[in-house]
């Protein structure tokens, strides 16, 4: 199969996407296309001919409209464009993750991304306002970040049912550096589990209605947070959490 010829129609749709958008919106007369796109009639004629040559458009009673192939192809083009827009919005957040990191588009579509910087290292936490009455929280952290632990403590004290999954190597740090938080977890029966493998990013699911994806710098600082509330993102985040939780062990603090 020759790849380059098969992409000819896609290349044409990319270069003529503004005209296709007009036709998709019901604008078919060339005079209206000329006025709406602020292009010369010669340019409009050439663009229409290119799209006709690719069997994307055809003329009917003097107007341009989609062929059956063109309609399906344009729907696929819009889906591709949406996927690339999703990736572009999350580009800076994802850039710090290793290439082999398993991040699905389902987690990204429809998301809001906030990055931290040197002047506002915890800005993402201020941007996202969790529901103080949340009933259930599931959190999976490859890094122990103070603001995230503080959030879990506040929700535990507020009566939320919490399950925390951390990397096994973080347990000594949790006991030594975050002893006060650990006491709160114990007091309010936060279920802590540890795993030998976790993804390179954190996942928090709140009431099966909101998910946060946290990305950390190599030094352990927060790089940014992605928030998503789409059912697809929640479902994928839940599957991810369950997958690692199934391979984890319940944490029991060793008494001195």
Per residue in 25-36, pLDDT (tens digit) is 998 888 888 888
Q: How many helices (H) and strands (E) does the chain have?
A: 13, 10
- The CATH class, in words, for 90-250 is alpha beta
Per-residue confidence band for 190, with pLDDT thresholds at 50, 70 and 90: very high
For the cut 80, the answer to whether the pLDDT of residue 125 exceeds it is no
Distance of CA 197 to the CA centre of its chain: 22
* pLDDT of 128: 65
For the cut 80, the answer to whether the pLDDT of residue 198 exceeds it is yes
- Taking residues 172-201, report their average pLDDT: 94
Task: Evaluate whether 151 touches 210 at the Cβ level (below 8 Å).
Answer: no
Which position has the higher pLDDT, 30 or 194? 194
Average pLDDT, the chain: 87
Percent of residues, the chain, with pLDDT higher than 90: 50
Which position has the higher pLDDT, 80 or 177? 177
- Taking residues 202-210, report their average pLDDT: 91
* pLDDT of 50: 93
Domain ranges (residues) in the chain: 3-84, 90-250
For the cut 80, the answer to whether the pLDDT of residue 1 exceeds it is no
3-84 CATH: 1.10.10.10
Of 81-90, 174-183, 219-228, 238-247, minimum mean pLDDT range:
81-90
* pLDDT of 120: 64
Helix axes 179-187, 146-157, angle to 10 degrees: 30
CA dihedral (98, 101, 105, 106) positive or negative: negative
Which position has the higher pLDDT, 128 or 222? 222
Instruction: Label residue 200 exposed, middle or buried (CB < 10 Å: 0-12, 13-18, 19+).
Output: middle
- Taking residues 168-192, report their average pLDDT: 94
Q: What ranges in 25-162 are assigned the alpha helix state H?
A: 30-37, 41-53, 68-89, 91-94, 105-108, 123-127, 146-157
pTM for the full predicted model: 0.74
Task: Evaluate whether 41 touches 34 at the Cβ level (below 8 Å).
Answer: yes
Instruction: Label residue 128 exposed, middle or buried (CB < 10 Å: 0-12, 13-18, 19+).
Output: middle
For the cut 80, the answer to whether the pLDDT of residue 122 exceeds it is no
For the stretch 135-173, pLDDT in tens is 899 999 999 988 889 889 989 998 999 999 999 999 999
Task: Evaluate whether 141 touches 190 at the Cβ level (below 8 Å).
Answer: no
* pLDDT of 105: 83
Q: Do domains 3-84 and 90-250 have the same CATH topology?
A: no
* pLDDT of 212: 92
Distances, alpha carbon 81 to alpha carbons 10, 71, 173, 185, in Å: 11, 15, 44, 45
Which position has the higher pLDDT, 17 or 129? 17
């Amino acid at each position: 199969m020759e790849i380059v010829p098969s992409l000819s129609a896609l290349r044409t749709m990319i270069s003529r996407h503004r005209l296709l958008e007009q036709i998709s919106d019901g604008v078919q007369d060339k005079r209206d296309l000329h006025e709406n796109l602020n292009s010369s009639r010669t340019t409009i004629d050439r663009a229409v001919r290119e799209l006709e040559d690719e069997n994307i458009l055809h003329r009917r009673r003097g107007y341009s409209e989609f062929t059956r192939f063109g309609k399906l192809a344009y729907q696929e083009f819009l889906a591709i464009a949406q996927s690339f827009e999703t990736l572009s919005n999350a580009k800076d957040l994802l850039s710090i993750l290793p290439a082999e990191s398993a991040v699905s588009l389902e987690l990204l579509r429809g998301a809001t991304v906030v990055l931290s910087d040197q002047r506002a290292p915890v800005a993402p936490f201020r941007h996202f306002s969790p529901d103080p009455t949340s009933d259930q929280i599931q959190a999976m952290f490859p890094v122990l970040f103070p603001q995230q632990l503080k959030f879990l403590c506040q929700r535990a004290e507020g009566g939320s049912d919490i399950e925390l999954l951390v990397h096994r190597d973080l347990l000594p740090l949790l006991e030594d550096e975050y002893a006060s938080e650990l006491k709160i977890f114990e007091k309010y029966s936060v279920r802590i589990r540890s795993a030998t493998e976790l993804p390179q990013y954190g996942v928090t699911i709140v009431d099966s209605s909101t998910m946060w994806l946290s990305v950390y710098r190599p030094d352990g600082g927060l790089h940014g947070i992605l928030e998503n509330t789409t059912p697809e993102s929640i479902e994928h985040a839940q599957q991810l959490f369950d997958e690692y939780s199934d391979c984890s062990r319940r944490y029991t603090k060793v008494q001195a």
